[in-house]
Each structure stands twice: as structure tokens, then as C-alpha cells.
Amino acid sequence: MVFRLRLITAIFVARAVMWLVRLLGRGKGSSLPGMVALKICPGILAHLARQACRGVVMVTGTNGKTTTNNMVARIAGEAGYRVVVNAEGANMITGITTAFLRKASLWGRVDCDYALLEVDEATFPRVTRQVRPDLVVVTNFFRDQLDRYGELDTTVSLIRETLEKLPGTGLVLNADDPLVASLAAAAGGEVLYYGLGEHRRVTSSSSAAREGRFCPRCGQELAYAYYQYSQLGNYRCPGCGFSRPPAGVEGTEVLPEERRTTCRLRSPAGDYELVIPVPGLYNLYNGLAAFTAGLALGVEPRVITRALAGYTPATGRMERFRYREKPVLLNLVKNPTGFNEGLGTLLSLTGPVDVLIAINDNDADGRDISWLWDVDFEVLEEEHRHVNLLVCTGQRGAEMAVRLKYAGVPLEKIVVEEMSRAVERVLNGPGKTACFLATYTALWPVERILSGYARRENRVESLPSVS
């Protein structure tokens, strides 16, 4: 009786907070309602999550969590399932609780088939103590915010130890990342692998920071037949024999384009063409992960490929705008690997390109911005004719400008501006295309300013049966 009273009170107050946040124009309030509800009723998340009648899917890893999780949500919606999903990327326990609260009735009933949850790596152990996943999708592991996560091996160990406590939980793992593939040893249920085969754009070496280049079993340096990017590729340990496992779902014949990426896909259910309507090799990996998760949920492959072909990105995940006749791309950057891939996409755009880089150092971004020195900005020196203007903004815009200077970018192309003026300057620059790259807390104000000038081309649509 006491729990029921706490539950109803928590839901009522959380709904009031949601309404108030919207009234004040502060967005959807993706974390605050959950925070308030957990204070009033600490057991509310576990209670609500148990009502997902077909099960719980969690997506974790360093990069691609939001995109992969939202792709899985679109697949599930296309298949006719009702889902709970934290679509905005609020992946801490408070944001996950809010996702359930949006779907819950005032009496605490949740009518859904699946809960599809993006979960922060550091929060993963805490969330799984309250919500038991039936399937866990792991995207990749890269160096990310050392002041929050610590060294990379700490994060991997944390996930591995948690998985060992989840007997019966199935895993969807990236075969091309040795750190992710090594988690199979901790699996209590079925393991499914996805990855990319050899194609024309693989390389024989990688200059990117690769903290994962050592064998996770014996510590010896891995030998690679080829690299996709960073430590992802076809690897083998000359010491203990640990190697890339065969991928049940594998992409081949990769065709990257400015607005989409396609590949041939081989799977246990047959061969298909996979079309991901956003650019970048890393988004193709997200699509492969989502396809594999869809198969694990029993969805027909043609339903999965149709859903993925119609996917629309969340805010700042290769989101497209148009200012007058000028295409504009907005993308989140948060660590060296993700930034390197963002630069690769920038250089693939129709040039010359006007560029905005917004760097903040709030808690959600990571206070330590030394990671910027691990990003390969030197490619902008080599390809500087492709870039017309680089406008740096945000709390650490000046430091970003210094990094570009040391990368060898011509000084006349580097500008530091206040954020509103920076957005306006880049939009009105003489380049044919504009590219906006922003860290997490800089992304939202940049998006808000940008939306006042430009129209979205790939607006995020409501997912079927998604709250």
C-alpha cells in the first residue's frame, strides 16, 4: 500500500514537471521528471520496466548508441510492436526512468511490448540492477572523457563484470572491435556478431589513436589484415590466437555517398541490400547492429531493411538543414574517434565548406578537453582548399582555434566568435556547403539558433507506438 501511494505520487509529480518544463520552453525535460520520480519512489524504474511484456533491449558502448537504439525502435515500430524508448539520448538512469514515465498511466501501468534503452557505459551496472535486459547490443569502445570514464580498460572491465551477472542475456557484438568481441567470454546467452568485410575503402594502416590495438586476452599487440577505422578491422593476436570472430551479419560492397551509405548484407536469413540514409561508415555499423538486433527480436529481414531505409536521425546525428540554397549538416562530436569520422564526412561534402566547431567543457562534455589533441585535425591542413572558413565557438572556442593553428590550418581561415554570430557567419559564408560540429552541451544551443535560420530536411518523425 505504501509503495502504491509512492508510485502514484511520483508519476503525478513527474507529469507536472514535464508540463512545467514544456511551459518554460526548456525542451522535453528528458531527465528531470525521472530524477524527481526516483526521489519519491526509488523502486519506480524496476516496477515500470517489468511490464515490458516481450522484453528489454539495451544498447551501450562509446559511439552510436542513440542512432542504433533509435534504429531498433523504428524496426520494432515497423513490425507493429509498442515500445518504450529514450529516443532523445538521455541515457542515465534518470532519463531512462523518464522514458517509462511518458508511457505510464497515472496508476503505474505500462502497455508496451519492448523497452528499447540506450544506456551510458558508466551507468550500465546501476541500470541493470533495476532493469534486467534480455538482449544487450554493444557498439564499440573508444577513449572517451577520461575525467568521467577513466581509462578504456576500466570501462570494458565494468561492462564485462556486469554481463557476467546476467545469465541468459543475449549479446549483439561488433566483431570488428576486439574490445567488444572479447565480451563474448562473459555471455550467459546467445551471441550474435555483426561487422564489415573487406571492401575498397579499408586501409592497411591506421594513424588514429587506437587504445584497443592490444589483445584483450594476453596484452600482445594485435596484427591486422586491414582496418576499417581506429582499431576496427580484421585482427589476430600472434600470441594467444584471439581473432575477429566470423560475423553472422556482414556488410560487403560498401558504397558511401554524400547523403547515404549502402552495402550488400549477408545474414543467416539471406542476402539483402542495406541502405542507411545518413553518411559515414560508422552509421553503417549502427545499421548493421540494428539489423542484427532486429533479427534477434524475430522481425522479418525485409521489414528491417525497409525500416532502416526510412530512418530519420535524432538531433545532431548527421542532421540535415537547408539555409536558402545552402545544405547544412549538424553532427555531434564527443571523442577523438567520433571527431575523426566527422572530419571525414566534412571532407566528403561538396566544397568549399564553411565549418563551425562548437566546444563546451561542461560535465556532460567532459571537463578535460585535452582529447582535442588526439583528433587528426592535420587533415584540414592537407585539404585546406576544401574548407573555406573555420569558425570556433563555445566555452572553449579559443582553445579549439589554437588546436587548429597547431594543426597547420591557415590562420586567415580561423575565426573565434560568440555562438549566435558564429552560426550566422557560417550560414552566410561563401562556401557551397556548411558543416556544424558540436560537443554535447553546445549541440542544443547551436541547433536552436540554426533552426531559427534554416529548415530541417530530414525532420525526426514520430516513431510508431513510441513514447
Instruction: Count how many Cα atoms sit within 13 Å of the Cα of residue 273 in the half-sphere of its side chain.
Output: 7
The confidence score (pLDDT) of residue 100 equals 96
Tell me what pLDDT residue 292 has.
98
Cα distance between residue 347 and residue 353, in whole Å: 8
Is 330:450 a contact under the CB 8 Å cutoff? yes
Q: Give one word for 316, left, alpha or beta, with left for phi > 0 and alpha for psi -120 to 50.
A: left
Which residues 6+ apart lie within 8 Å of 36 measured at CB?
10, 13, 14, 17
Q: Are 195 and 174 in contact (CB under 8 A)?
A: yes
- Condensed to tens digits (0 to 9), the pLDDT of residues 287-342 reads 999 999 999 999 999 999 999 999 987 776 788 899 998 999 999 998 888 898 88
Q: What is the CA angle 140-145-148, rounded to 5? A: 110
Q: What is the end-to-end Cα distance of the chain in Å, rounded?
A: 28
Residues 6+ apart with CB under 8 A from 455: 321, 322
Task: Give catalytic residue positions.
Answer: 368
The pairing of beta strand 455-456 with beta strand 319-323? antiparallel
What does DSSP say about strands 270-276 and 455-456: parallel, antiparallel, or unpaired?
Answer: unpaired
Cβ atoms 278, 290 nearer than 8 A: no
Residue recorded with cell 589476430? 236
Q: What is the pLDDT of residue 301?
A: 96
Per-residue pLDDT at 466 = 33
Closest CA to 139 of 235, 212, 236: 212
Grid coordinates in use for 22? 514544456
Q: Which residues of the chain have pLDDT under 50?
A: 147-149, 209, 460-467
Q: Helix or strand or coil: residue 390?
A: strand
User: Counting Cβ atoms within 10 Å, is residue 461 exposed (0-12), middle (13-18) or buried (19+)?
Assistant: exposed
| Residues 316, 40: Cα–Cα separation, whole Å | 33
- DSSP codes joined into one string, 143-198: ---HHHH-SHHHHHHHHHHHHTT-TT-EEEEETT-HHHHGGGGG-SS-EEEEEE--
The pTM score is 0.84
Distance CA 8, CA 346 (A): 49
CA–CA dist 203, 227 (Å, integer): 5
Cβ atoms of 139 and 65 closer than 8 Å: yes
The residue type at 235? Y
Cell of 262: 549502402
Going by the DSSP 8-state scheme, the letter that residue 270 receives in this structure is: E
Strand order in the sheet with 326-332: 414-416, 387-393, 353-358, 433-438, 326-332, 319-323, 455-456
Cell 534554416, located at residue: 454
Can you tell me whether residue 267 is helix, strand or coil?
Answer: strand
DSSP state of 243: B
Structure confidence at residue 29 (pLDDT): 52
